Structure 1
């Protein structure tokens, strides 16, 4: 009787070992497939990040922050952040009652005000304006003086037609 119990235990242990061996092989294949999928996904994400970085660099090409020659031109003024200073001065023109004086249109829905600003270099700005319903773009020439005053001159403008 004792002999049969040991035989049954041995057979039972052998079946458990066989099950674990077969199951571990399946698990290994499943894990290798998952690892392969994750590696592919990581490579795609790396490519996506690289493409995004290239697009960002391309978008930043025309900006004062990345134009060393333009920054050198403004270097004698010792401004910590010249782009922010110029944007703030341009936004101050919005504070006047009524339409912004740089915008050559009368607001139809309300007053036209400058919304977004892109300082291209040490001379030019591209700006977006709107009255809440109508919008347009401006190209502005500016001159930053030694006393930190700025003269803004409108070069060109565009008011988009509204299509509903």
Structure 2
């Protein structure tokens, strides 16, 4: 009987040592995984902050980020006003000769139209223009009229040279 108790004691001791070693190994593995996850989270947060700061820099010149311009349009809903201005500007593309704000004639039968628009503040818009083979940019002065279409005036234009296909 004493030998059976001794064997059970030794067996339980070995079992406890095995459990301790196994638990320690699992704990170290989980600690490493947690540290790796924390490092990845930090990296993603840093990347997210970089992208957020780049977005703020990119939108520095925009109607939505300009307090003075927003004060100027205090009686308007900025998203609705922005949509109205963009729609009116893009509607000018329907002209058979091209957008009248672009002072260039059609090239190779392709009229110049406005593709993208960025409202800089309460007076200026920068827009990308395209004719199929050429593209450029125009700076537009605008004035919002109450219950009337917006007045647009081209201030300056730039036309980029054709890009050769490189193969």
Question: What's the TM-score, normalizing by structure 2?
Answer: 0.84
Deviation, 1:13, is 3.6
Which residues of 2 match residues 130-149 of structure 1 at below 5 A? Answer: 130-149=130-149
Q: Is 1:161 paired with 2:161?
A: yes
Q: Is 1:126 paired with 2:126?
A: yes
Deviation, 1:146, is 2.9
Gap runs ≥5 in structure 1: none
Which residues of 2 match residues 19-58 of structure 1 at below 5 A? Answer: 19-58=18-57
Deviation, 1:149, is 2.1
Gap runs ≥5 in structure 2: none
Aligned to 1:64: 63
* Contact 1:99–1:107 (Cα < 8 Å) also in 2: no
Q: Deviations over 1:79-100 (max 9, x none)?
A: 4522111111111101222321
Question: What's the TM-score, normalizing by structure 1?
Answer: 0.85
- RMSD over equivalenced CA pairs, Å: 2.1
Q: Deviations over 1:101-155 (max 9, x none)?
A: 1112223362221111000011100001112332111111112123332121111
